[in-house]
C-alpha cells in the first residue's frame, strides 16, 4: 500500500471509485455481453460466414474472452466470487478451468515472488538445478520460447502439456473441478458440432490453440528478473488492437500495483503520472508489441536461466 500511495494520491483513486462508471461497472458488463453475443453469433452464423472467416473471427474473440476472465477473477464487474465465477465459467478457450486460472493467477500476484521458478506459477524462467537437469533439446526449446516467434508457436502446446502433467498428479484433489469443467466443455463442443460449420477438432486445434498463442504475446515479456520486485513488471505502451485484446493489461505494473483497478481506468491512471510510473519500474518500458516483434521475433530477449533464483 505504501508504494501505491507514493505513486498515486489516494484522492485520485477515490474520485474514480465514486464515478457512475465504476459504481455500475457498465463497461465490463457491456464487454461481457458483447463477447458472449459475438461468440454465439459467429458459431451460429458460421454456415453463412464460411469455415475460415468464422475461424479468423473466433480467434480474437476467444483471446478477448481470456482477458475478460482475467477481469472477473480480479473482482469485476461484481464483488461476488460466485457470481463472477458463473459469469466467466464458459470454456470458450477450452483448456483451463476458470477456478484453476483464478487461483493460479492470484498466487502470481505475490510481487515478492515474481519470476521465481517454482514459486511464481507464471514464471518463464528456470533455476540452475532445472537448467542443469535439462537435455540439450529442452534447453533449445527454452531458448526458442524466448523469441516472439517461438513463443507464439510453442507456448500454447507446451502450456497444455505442462497442464496435463501437473493436473494428472493432483487429480484426486481436484477431480470435481475437472469434472464440472469437462461437462460444460462437452456441452459447448456438442453445440459447436451440431449448430456450426466447425468440427470439434477444428475448434480445438484451429481456434482455441491459436487464441492461446495470441494471448501468449501479452505475457511474452511482462516480467523480468530484478532484485527490486517493483522493477520486475513492464509498462508496455501498446496501441490498438493489442490494448483492446488485452484490456490494457499491457500497462502491467499499474495492474500489479492496483489489481482491483478495472481495465478501463488503467490508461487514465498511467497517463496522469507517467513519469512516476516509469521511475517506479526502473525504466522497464516497451514501446508496443511491434517493437518486441521487430527486435526479438527471432532473437532471444533474455536467458531462460533465472539470474538469482
pTM of the model: 0.94
Q: Rounded to an integer, what distance in angstroms lies between the CA atom of residue 80 and that of residue 289?
A: 34
Q: Rounded to an integer, what distance in angstroms lies between the CA atom of residue 45 and that of residue 38?
A: 10
Q: Return the pLDDT at 3.
A: 54
Domain boundaries, the chain: 2-296
Q: Return the pLDDT at 13.
A: 81
Are 286 and 221 a contacting pair, CB within 8 Å? yes
Buried b (16+ CB within 10 A) or exposed e, 175-186: eebbeebeeebe
What are the mean pLDDT values of the chain's consecutive 10-residue runs (309 residues total)? 52 86 97 98 98 98 98 97 98 97 96 95 95 96 98 96 94 94 98 98 98 97 96 97 98 96 96 94 97 97 94
Q: Which residues contact 88 (CB under 8 A, 6 or more apart)?
A: 68, 69, 72, 73, 98
Amino acid at each position: 500500500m505504501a508504494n501505491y500511495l507514493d505513486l498515486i494520491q489516494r484522492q485520485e483513486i477515490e474520485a474514480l471509485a465514486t464515478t457512475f462508471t465504476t459504481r455500475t461497472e457498465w463497461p465490463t458488463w457491456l464487454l461481457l455481453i458483447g463477447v458472449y453475443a459475438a461468440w454465439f453469433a459467429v458459431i451460429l452464423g458460421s454456415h453463412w460466414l464460411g469455415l475460415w472467416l468464422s475461424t479468423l473471427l473466433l480467434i480474437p474473440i476467444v483471446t478477448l474472452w481470456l482477458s475478460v476472465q482475467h477481469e472477473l477473477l480480479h473482482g469485476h464487474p461484481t464483488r461476488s466470487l460466485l457470481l463472477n465465477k458463473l459469469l466467466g465459467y464458459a470454456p470458450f478457450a477450452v483448456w483451463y478451468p476458470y477456478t484453476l486460472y483464478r487461483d493460479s493467477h492470484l498466487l502470481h500476484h505475490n510481487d515478492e515472488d515474481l519470476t521465481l521458478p517454482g514459486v511464481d506459477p507464471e514464471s518463464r524462467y528456470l533455476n540452475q538445478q532445472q537448467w542443469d537437469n535439462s537435455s540439450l533439446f529442452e534447453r533449445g526449446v527454452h531458448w526458442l520460447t524466448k523469441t516472439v516467434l517461438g513463443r507464439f508457436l510453442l507456448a500454447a502446446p507446451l502450456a497444455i502439456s505442462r497442464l496435463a502433467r501437473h493436473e494428472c498428479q493432483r487429480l484426486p484433489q481436484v477431480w470435481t473441478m475437472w469434472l464440472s469443467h469437462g461437462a460444460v466443455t462437452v456441452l459447448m463442443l456438442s453445440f459447436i458440432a451440431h449448430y456450426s460449420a466447425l468440427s470439434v477438432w477444428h475448434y480445438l486445434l484451429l481456434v482455441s490453440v491459436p487464441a492461446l498463442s495470441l494471448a501468449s504475446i501479452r505475457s511474452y515479456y511482462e516480467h523480468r528478473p530484478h532484485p527490486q520486485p517493483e522493477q520486475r513488471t513492464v509498462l508496455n505502451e501498446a496501441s490498438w488492437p493489442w490494448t483492446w485484446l488485452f484490456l490494457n493489461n499491457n500497462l502491467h505494473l499499474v495492474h500489479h500495483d492496483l489489481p482491483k483497478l478495472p481495465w478501463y481506468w488503467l490508461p487514465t491512471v498511467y497517463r496522469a503520472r507517467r513519469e512516476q510510473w516509469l521511475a517506479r519500474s526502473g525504466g522497464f518500458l516497451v514501446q508496443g508489441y511491434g517493437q518486441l516483434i521487430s527486435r526479438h521475433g527471432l532473437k532471444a530477449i533474455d536467458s531462460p536461466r533465472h539470474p538469482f533464483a
